[in-house]
């Protein structure tokens, strides 16, 4: 049977390795569309602790925000070439929108 200490050490090890493996993703705003790796993205799955960089690749402003229960944020409006990062710490779903272009919409599922 495992001792409490062994379980505690195991949990800490798991937490540390989860932190160490946190990934970074870039979602571009390009032609009023969310794109990942040059392709339109409507749904993407990440792991808790991962960070998404929202990069404006259009010659005009975007204002990325989310009103989801998982995470509420407003990155403000920012110009071409600028990138803003959001770290998703908890599992769940976040709907991502642009305040300037209502047709822009995507969902990030955090596992
Ligand atoms: Cu926009």
pLDDT of residue 7: 56
Q: Is residue 96 part of a domain?
A: yes
Q: Is residue 62 part of a domain?
A: yes
Share above pLDDT 70 across residues of the chain, in percent, rounded to a whole number: 82
pLDDT of residue 21: 83
- Tell me which residues have their CB within 5 A of the ion that is ligand 1: 62, 98, 100-101
- Give residues with Cβ within 8 angstroms of 3, minimum separation 6: none
Q: Is residue 4 part of a domain?
A: no
pLDDT digits (tens, 9 = 90+) for 3-38: 666 556 655 555 555 556 899 999 999 999 999 999
Q: Is residue 56 part of a domain?
A: yes
Q: What is the CATH number of the domain that holds 46?
A: 2.60.40.420
- Give residues with Cβ within 8 angstroms of 86, minimum separation 6: 51, 52, 54, 66, 71, 73, 75
CA–CA separation, 1 vs 38, rounded Å? 51
Q: Is residue 41 part of a domain?
A: yes
Gap from CA of 66 to ligand 1 centroid (Å): 13
Gap from CA of 32 to ligand 1 centroid (Å): 6
Q: Is residue 15 part of a domain?
A: no
Domain count, the chain: 1
Of 109, 107, 74, which Cα lies nearest the Cα of 88?
Answer: 109
């Amino acid at each position: 049977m495992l001792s409490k200490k062994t379980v505690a050490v195991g949990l800490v090890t798991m937490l540390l390795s989860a932190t160490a493996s946190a990934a970074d993703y870039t979602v571009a705003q390009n032609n009023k569309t969310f794109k990942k790796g040059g392709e339109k993205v409507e749904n993407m799955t990440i792991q808790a602790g991962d960070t998404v960089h929202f990069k404006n690749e259009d010659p005009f402003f975007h204002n990325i925000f989310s009103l989801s229960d998982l995470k509420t944020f407003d990155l403000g409006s920012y110009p071409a070439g600028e990138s803003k990062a959001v770290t998703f710490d908890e599992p769940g779903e976040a709907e991502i929108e642009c305040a300037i272009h209502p047709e822009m919409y995507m969902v990030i599922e955090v596992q």
